[in-house]
Homo-oligomer: A and B are copies of this chain.
Amino acid sequence: MQNDDSSAPQYRKLACRVVDITCGQGVTIVEPANLYGCTLEDGVFVGPFVEVQRNAVIGARTRIQSHSFICEKVTIGTDCFIGHGVMFINDLFKDGHPTYDVDAMLKTCIGNHVSIGSNATILPVTICDHTVIGAGAVVTKAIATPGIYAGNPARLIRPL
């Protein structure tokens, strides 16, 4: 049945929105964006077509570019650059399916002055300050040494 048949089941429409956010001074958000329950510190910039979930924290002066997705349990430091189409992960589907239990979701912690290239994918890990993640990289392990990392899985290309 088509939705233009008034007897057909109708879907529920929700609208993308910016709601219940905590923000500092000088924050800019380009809409449409879907941000809820997150914290954006002073001077954060969020480009269009971005989703940031509940309890995520974005540090001061960090830029989140268009098309990126930042999930619950992600903390990003200050002065970071998150490129376009970057996806964060908080669930490894270890049992073969997603968990819907927030307590079982995994944390990601990005340091300060970290730059992440476009289309990168960040599994739930810790990344140290002053690191660069190359465009298209898939980061599967914690990074404790500042450097440029790229590839799938991401490997150290050169120290910084």
Chain A residues proximal to chain B, CB less than 8 Å: 1-4, 8-16, 18, 20-32, 34, 40, 47-49, 51, 65-67, 69, 81, 83-85, 87-89, 93, 96-98, 113, 115, 117-119, 121, 123, 130, 132, 135-136, 138, 146, 148, 151-153, 160
Contact = CB atoms under 8 A, between A and B. Distances in A.
A98 B118 contact: no
Contacts of A136: 87, 121, 138, 152
Given A40-B11, A135-B121, A93 B115 contact: yes
A69 B66 contact: yes
A153 B151 contact: yes
A73 B14 CA distance: 27
